[in-house]
Amino acid sequence: MYYFTYDPWVGKVLYLEDFFVMEQYRGLGIGSEILKRLSQVAVQTHCSCMHFLVAFWNKPSIEYYKHRGAIDLSAEEGWHLFRFTKDNLIQMAAEE
């Protein structure tokens, strides 16, 4: 599952929301084929990069992506991902 976003520093981005290969199918090249197809979509639609999140505890995936050339922005650029919950949004929207 993916969609397009815009980053003011890099331009159009393919954002990979979810990517999962069931355990019994891992090691068969399915993940590599999915990344290939996503890369083709990104190039064909003039994206400058692909962004995605990986849980810090998911070491095998982190190593897989790094091996494929992915850059860990939290380590390289010091970015932090934040979230405002719906309750936070409601509270801020009601502020005077």
Active site residues: 65
Q: Are 54 and 66 in contact (CB under 8 A)?
A: no
Q: Which amino acid belongs to residue 94?
A: A
Q: How far is CA 20 from the centre of its chain?
A: 12
Cα–Cα distance, 50 to 52 (Å, whole number): 7
Q: Of 68, 53, 69, 56, which Cα lies nearest the Cα of 20? A: 53
